[in-house]
Amino acid sequence: MAASALGDRRLVVRAGLALLVANGRYWTSVAPVVRRELKRWRLHAAAIDDPELRALAHSKLDGEGFHAEAAAMLATFAPRAHRSSVVEAIVALELLFDYLDGLTELPSGDPLREGDRLFRALIDAVAIPSAGTTELVEQPLCNDGGYLEALSRAVSSAVARLPAALAITQVAQRVAARSGEAQTRMHASSQLGIAQLEEWGRSEAQGMGRQWRELVAGSASSVLVLHALIAAAGDARTTMQDAAQTAEAYLPACVLLTLLDGLVDNDQDKAHGGSDRPSYLSLFEDRHELLEVLGQAARRAATQSRGLPNGARHLMLLTGAVAYYSSAPGAQSDVARPVLARLRRELSPLMTPTLALMRAWRGGRRRAQLFRAKGEGESYHETSVQGGTVGSGRCCG
């Protein structure tokens, strides 16, 4: 049996201390800004005239708003003076990414072209506006009253206020473009087949030391890379080399997130008929290959994370993300259990206390939701928008 990637006990201790410090910073200086920003974007979404796009925006906010809350943990890395701007950028970017995910799942006569058009908003979000330029009035990317563009501009504006914004921009735009391409091509595979996804994945993976399936899975959730880059931009000492190193270290973590998300939801997706659609899990030939890819991704992510500035903090977040999926109800399925056992070994001994904390958090969250449900009755997010139910053509200007 291979040794844990976290064999250095002093590193484990530092990561544990980093967890305590991060939690203190999160609840005092990050969570209040997250709540403010989510409220702000809910009001903006409520103003969307198109009822179906308004429902999509609200479903993403209500059903996946936790993504923004969790991603904002990265803001604890930023100096206090710039932390609020980092949070604003991360929340808007996560909401933008999740909204684009829903938009590009809608039927389209040319899904690749449509996805490329819509994901311009993600690439523009991590671009720094040139000083003295005026915005050109262009045809909106989506008939949602400017909600998509507002999210994109909010990210760009917040990032521009960070001291090392220029150091991350070039890397961030490449990551955003690759992420949009992976998402678009995976969603298009229902119409166009997997061959176009494989061709793109093989081309991108050349020279990166990764197989195409792994590259596709990692690229698909590379919004996490963008969050890490934004947090790094809050530190004036961050260089372009640091940005490239951060992007490289976070790519295997994104492989973990994409595949674990599908793994713990596998039984639920089958129950709702989702097994008929191509998924990131379905790209792998068998469960043994999947197990090896995830195990290697965990080891690479741990090794590369510890090599970053403040490596113990990055390692703490990586372990927390795996613990989040390991504590999910779907983690007990026959398919998920052996995979998660392998990952726990790779990330031991830090995984044990982190998993205990995550299980306690989930229990508290369930109790809070039950309490609110009793007081409020049926909540809005129970009426969710499923992929493909929003009318075709709603996004086109």
Give a yes or no: residue 387 inside a domain. Answer: no
- Which residue did the predictor score with more confidence, 157 or 141? 157
Give a yes or no: residue 396 inside a domain. Answer: no
**pLDDT value for 189:** 94
Listed residue (2, 155, 150) closest to 68, CA to CA? 155
Query: Is the confidence at residue 218, as pLDDT, over 60?
Result: yes
Q: How many domains does the chain have?
A: 1
Structure tokens at 71: 């991603």
Model confidence over 315-325: pLDDT tens digits?
Answer: 888 988 898 88
Model confidence over 196-214: pLDDT tens digits?
Answer: 999 999 999 987 878 899 9
**pLDDT value for 385:** 36
**pLDDT value for 75:** 95
Give a yes or no: residue 386 inside a domain. Answer: no
Listed residue (43, 44, 55) closest to 146, CA to CA? 44
What is the pLDDT confidence band of residue 294, given thresholds at 50, 70 and 90?
Answer: very high
Give a yes or no: residue 382 inside a domain. Answer: no
- Which residue did the predictor score with more confidence, 271 or 307? 307
Query: Is the confidence at residue 391, as pLDDT, over 60?
Result: no
**pLDDT value for 6:** 61
Residues 286 and 289: their CA atoms lie apart, in Å, by 6
What is the pLDDT confidence band of residue 3, given thresholds at 50, 70 and 90?
Answer: low
**pLDDT value for 11:** 67
What is the pLDDT confidence band of residue 394, given thresholds at 50, 70 and 90?
Answer: very low
Give a yes or no: residue 395 inside a domain. Answer: no
Domain of 70, CATH number, reads: 1.10.600
Average pLDDT, integer, range 23-30: 91
Query: Is the confidence at residue 123, as pLDDT, over 90?
Result: yes
Average pLDDT, integer, range 260-286: 77
**pLDDT value for 210:** 84
**Domain coverage including residue 347:** 9-129+144-267+276-366
Residues 54 and 360: their CA atoms lie apart, in Å, by 34
Average pLDDT, integer, range 203-227: 92
Query: Is the confidence at residue 137, as pLDDT, over 70?
Result: no
* Residue percentage of the chain with pLDDT more than 70: 85
Average pLDDT of every residue of the chain:
86
**pLDDT value for 136:** 43
Give a yes or no: residue 375 inside a domain. Answer: no
**pLDDT value for 73:** 92
**Residue with tokens 């590009």, as numbered in its chain:** 104
Query: Is the confidence at residue 223, as pLDDT, over 90?
Result: yes
Lowest mean pLDDT among 24-38, 66-80, 128-142, 208-222: 128-142
Query: Is the confidence at residue 335, as pLDDT, over 70?
Result: yes
Q: Which residues contact 313 (CB under 8 A, 6 or more apart)?
A: 15, 18, 22, 76, 77
Average pLDDT, integer, range 210-226: 95
Listed residue (305, 317, 306, 321) closest to 250, CA to CA? 305
In angstroms, the Cα distances linking 397 to 105, 138, 142, 282, 335 are 17, 10, 6, 34, 43
- Which residue did the predictor score with more confidence, 12 or 102? 102
Give a yes or no: residue 138 inside a domain. Answer: no
Query: Is the confidence at residue 2, as pLDDT, over 60?
Result: no
Going by the DSSP 8-state scheme, the letter that residue 386 receives in this structure is: P
Going by the DSSP 8-state scheme, the letter that residue 381 receives in this structure is: G
**pLDDT value for 8:** 64
Lowest mean pLDDT among 142-151, 169-178, 379-388: 379-388
The amino acid at 67: H
Give a yes or no: residue 349 inside a domain. Answer: yes
Query: Is the confidence at residue 261, as pLDDT, over 50?
Result: yes
Average pLDDT, integer, range 87-109: 95
Q: Which residues contact 58 (CB under 8 A, 6 or more apart)?
A: 42, 45, 46, 380, 381
| Coil, helix or strand at residue 5 | coil
Residues 32 and 243: their CA atoms lie apart, in Å, by 28
